[in-house]
Amino acid sequence: MYKPLSCVLAGILIASWGFPSASLATVPYGTLTGGTPGGLGPGLAAPSVVPGKEYSHDLDFTTTGGGGIPDPQQVIAWDGSGGTADGLDYTGTRPNYTPDDEVDATANRRDHLFVQVIGEQDTAHLVFSHDDMISVYPAAGGFIPFTVPSAGPVPLANGNLIGGAGELSFELASAFSAPSTQGVWATQSDINLMPLPRDIDGVEVWGPEPAFTADADKYSLSVDGFSGTSVWDLGTGAPYISHAMIVAAVTQPGLLGPIPPSAVLPFPDFIEGDAAVNLDALMVQDIIGEDGSFDRDPAGGIGDRIIFSIRQIPDPQDPDGYYATGSEIFVMDASLGAAGTTYLFHGGHLWDHTNALTDLALPPDFIDGNRGVIDVNAIEAISEEVVPEPSTALLALLSGACLIAAIRRRSA
């Protein structure tokens, strides 16, 4: 059976370390075939064959040496078999906002399968991760912090088992599967063998190979209220979507509504009011005008669009305990503006507040008898198959032809 180069290297490293060993090192990024999304169907392309994968960690770190060394705004390329390398580093790319904040969402300006993952089609599978720090409610009232395990399985109230905070989970498209069919797509060891991820808070796939050549040209920092920007454009170093626009979008009647004084963002510090709204998951479809601006369609059609989620915001005065569970996912169209923002329809249901409180709640016995909901903090989309790059496919064809010719010569 074929083993990716990263697996071979991992074996060599482990053999050289002995077991156990005090000498640890990052597993090098292996060889991976480039490609694009292929056929849509009920199956999931494996992490080891989906090209151009990057992730952001909370807190951001570098893979240099043993890995795990803090390095704000550093994105990690991963091969799907445990090998990694440093990818993009956004530090110094914004002339007018220079603080080295943490990255908490990544995307490409033309994310593959954007249209297929939203309710217009619901034919691509959604990939997501969730935060390791959430707020839960004891029976006595008042919210307290709870650390969600980095490794799964994590049980949900809907009966599904998903990955931990350091893993990537999936929801299958309703075109091929029953509603709310969810599970684990990439484990900790698939993503990074050394060190195992604690909290994946941003993901981007379908970029070029090797993935450390970078693809995530749209990103968000934590906390948006610090800079007044929710999405940044790498190419211009300027704001792509303002924090005020995201606040206006989620506070629309029929969505989350106005932010009450009792709502608060507890991590990294207690933040109230509009500043508590913080975008932390992102996909982008920039098809109108310049890539560096979120543009309406001048002809009145669909404009540039984003799919996004925000951080969990508990509210002890709310009957259900949350202003935002963090697992609501929104779709915003520049042609419609903030007022036209809707909930994502995927997997046969809306990713709205009600769905989060019912399907995405955690069983009490999993959270020490408390009541709580996961907080989605990274999103992407995948297909059933991967189409190799033309040059790669041609090379495979030629290799196959040479092999057949060699076999025929030996037979003769």
pLDDT of 401: 39
Contact between 214 and 87 (Cβ < 8 Å): yes
Lowest pLDDT segment from 94-98, 210-214, 229-233, 379-383: 210-214
Q: How many CA atoms lie within 13 A of 234 on its CB side?
A: 18
Which helix H or strand E contains 305, and what residues bound it?
A: strand 305-310
Contact 270, 261 (CB under 8 A): no
At residue 247, φ and ψ (nearest 5 deg) are: -60, -45
pLDDT band at 66 (very low <50, low <70, confident <90, very high): confident
Contact by Cβ (8 Å): 157, 205: no
- Domain parsing of the chain, residue ranges: 33-406
Please say if the pLDDT value at position 80 is more than 70: yes
β-bridge mates for residue 161, sequence order: 155
> pLDDT class for 211, splitting at 50, 70, 90?
confident
Round to whole Å and give the CA distance between 251 and 241. Answer: 16
**Bond preceding residue 59 cis, omega within 30 of 0:** yes
**SS3 category, 115:** helix
Helix, strand, coil abundance in the chain, percent, nearest 5:
20, 30, 50
Which pLDDT value is given to residue 24? Answer: 66
Amino acid at residue number 194: M
CA distance 49 to 186: 12
What residues contact 218, with CB distance under 8 A and at least 6 apart? 106, 107, 108, 109, 231, 232, 233, 234, 240, 282, 284, 286
Please say if the pLDDT value at position 405 is more than 70.
Answer: no
Higher pLDDT, 188 or 9: 188
- Percentage of the chain surpassing pLDDT 90? 84
pLDDT at residue 389, rounded to an integer: 85
Q: Residue 330 in contact with residue 250, Cβ under 8 Å? A: yes
Reported residue count of the chain is 412
Q: For 10-14, 48-52, 111-115, which range has the lowest pLDDT when averaged over its residues?
A: 10-14
Token pair for residue 327?
């697992």
- Confidence check: pLDDT of 138 > 90: yes
User: Contact, 53 vs 78, CB < 8 A?
Assistant: yes
Res 398 pLDDT > 60: no
Stretch among 20-34, 212-226, 349-363, 366-380 having the lowest mean pLDDT: 20-34
Tell me how far the alpha carbon of residue 100 is from its chain's centroid. 21
User: What is the CB neighbour count within 10 angstroms for residue 384?
Assistant: 18
pTM: 0.89
310: region left, alpha or beta (phi > 0 left; psi from -120 to 50 alpha) = beta
d(CA 327, CA 311): 8
Residues in contact with 324: Cβ distance below 8 Å, sequence separation at least 6, in sequence order:
250, 256, 263, 277, 310, 311, 312, 313, 353
Which has the minimum average pLDDT: 38-42, 207-211, 235-239, 258-262?
A: 207-211
Q: What would the two tokens of residue 117 be?
A: 């993952």
pLDDT at 409 over 90: no
Compute the average pLDDT of residues 261-286: 96
What average pLDDT does this structure show over 194-199? Answer: 97
DSSP 77: E
CA distance 204 to 54: 5
Residue 388 scores a pLDDT above 70: yes
Residues forming a β-bridge with 284 = 306
